[in-house]
Amino acid sequence: MADVNRGNRPLSPHLTIYRPQLTSMTSILVRITGNALIVGALLCIWWLLSAATSPAYFALANGVMTSWLGKLIMLGSIWAIWYHTLGGIRHLIWDNAVGLDIPTAYKLGWTVVIGSFVLTALTVIVL
């Protein structure tokens, strides 16, 4: 028999009461940064290929890479590399069944977040 009240019910009632947690958000962000690193990698490959093509084409690619948008993308890529690396290390720790209790998991999560910004700043300062 057809359910006549089907249109009146919410599709996902758990979304109204679910509160995102640090561990789930940082885990999702590890996956997002892994995919976002493709943009920076493609720009670097384009820059290298343009250097092998011609001086005029390299000037164009180098102009894009040294523009404020190119520098912003590269800065974001540096942060994404550090975040993704630290998040991967955290997942390796969890794969060994270490740090799975809530307080330690939150400490590891904040270590990934804060550590990624600190390591990005250090990388920019050193380079």
Say what the pLDDT of residue 67 is: 96
Question: What is the tens place of the pLDDT at every residue in 98-114?
Answer: 999 999 999 999 999 99
Q: Residue 31 corresponds to which amino acid?
A: R
What is the average pLDDT across 81-87? 96
Bigger pLDDT: 104 vs 14: 104
d(CA 91, CA 110): 14
Say what the pLDDT of residue 18 is: 75
Alpha helices in the chain (DSSP H): 14-17, 22-53, 55-65, 68-95, 102-126
Q: Which domains does the chain have, with CATH numbers?
A: 21-126 (1.20.1300.10)
Say what the pLDDT of residue 69 is: 94
Inter-residue contact 16 to 70 (CB < 8 Å):
no
Q: Sorting pLDDT into bands at 50, 70 and 90, what band is 26?
A: very high
**pTM for the full predicted model:** 0.81
Say what the pLDDT of residue 127 is: 85
